[in-house]
Amino acid sequence: MIIKQLSIFIENETGRLAMVTQLLASNNINISALSVADTKEFGILRLIVSDPDKAVEMLRKEGVSVSLTNVMCLSVAHCPGTLAKALKVLSECRISVEYMYAFAVGEKASTIFKVNDIEKAIQCLEKSNLEVLKAEEVYKFNK
């Protein structure tokens, strides 16, 4: 249920994102989700990839500042109110959401959450019959 997310400190310069994604591609590492939060000079690139441990090792060898962060992924129906339900459950369990990012395709929506108590968050969401994806489901990469 816990997913390893890459957090990459990256200069806000032309070509830096291309360089990181090319390094991943050349090592056959697939990107499942990403988010970029930036300031004028720097950004944090957050990635869910098919092989996070291999990605960290390879990026560090190339001098990229990268760390792993534990997150979870919630899968819900892509319709009004499903995210609100999940956030209400977390709030009632006194779980603080530090950040999140999401995508939706077709009938399902997936949201990556960084929370202050991941184990408790997973228990609360599952107890409310919400689907928290397993790491294998998120990392899966069909060649």
Taking the domains of the chain in order of start, what are their residue ranges? 3-69, 71-139
The pair of structure tokens assigned to 74 is 């919630």
Length of the chain: 143
Alpha helices in the chain (DSSP H): 16-26, 52-61, 82-92, 118-127, 135-139
The pLDDT value recorded for residue 142 is: 53
User: What CA–CA distance (Å, rounded) separates 54 from 111?
Assistant: 24
Average pLDDT for consecutive 10-residue bins of the chain (143 residues)? Answer: 95 90 95 89 93 96 96 94 96 96 89 96 96 90 55
For residue 105, with 0-12 CB atoms within 10 Å meaning exposed, 13-18 middle and 19 or more buried, which class applies? Answer: exposed
The CATH code belonging to domain 3-69 is 3.30.2130.10
Do the first three CATH levels of 3-69 and 71-139 match, i.e. the same topology? yes
The CATH code belonging to domain 71-139 is 3.30.2130.10
The pLDDT value recorded for residue 21 is: 95
The pLDDT value recorded for residue 7 is: 96
Q: Which residues contact 113 (CB under 8 A, 6 or more apart)?
A: 71, 72, 73, 74, 90, 97, 100, 121
The pLDDT value recorded for residue 76 is: 92
The pLDDT value recorded for residue 59 is: 97
User: What CA–CA distance (Å, rounded) separates 21 from 29?
Assistant: 9
Which residues share a beta bridge with 4? 70
Question: What single-letter amino acid sits at 8?
Answer: I
